[in-house]
Amino acid sequence: MFEFFVAPGNAGNVWLIILLTGVVTYITRSGGYLVLSRFKNLHPRAEAALEAVPGAVLVTLVLPSLLENGSLEVVAMGAALVASLRLSPIWVLAIGMVIVIGGRAAGF
């Protein structure tokens, strides 16, 4: 068992590794709740931290597409940003995608 965990190269045990990555993922997906549900009242700072989670995480998911790409993608994201002030996510997505697909087809 020890060998399995520390020795490099475990091709024979790929199913076990797949299963374990699934278990680890489930632990993260339920763990935050498990830990926090132990507290009756949340400290206001903890509450403020949790309120910040969507903004703090989503921006990190968006960022690489701006850092990795050229100006067309930046323009598309900028247009999507402006559109999102008024429109629902589906329309924002449509506008952004039209710019990306159209721009790439036109050779930008």
Tell me the per-residue interface mask from 74 to 93 with other proteins, x by CB under 8 A, - otherwise. --xx--xx-xxx--xxx-xx
Based on the shown chain and the rule CB under 8 A, indicate whether residue 14 belongs to the binding site for other proteins: yes
> Which of 73, 68, 71 has its CA nearest to residue 97?
73
Q: Is 85 helix (H, G, I), strand (E, B) or coil?
A: coil
Q: Which of residues 53-72 bind other proteins (CB under 8 A)?
A: 53-65, 67, 69
- Using rule CB under 8 A, residue 108 touches other proteins: no
- Residues 46 and 53: their CA atoms lie apart, in Å, by 11
Q: Is 37 among the residues that bind other proteins (CB under 8 A)?
A: yes
Give the end-to-end CA distance of the chain in Å, rounded to a whole number: 54
6 counts as binding other proteins under rule CB under 8 A: yes
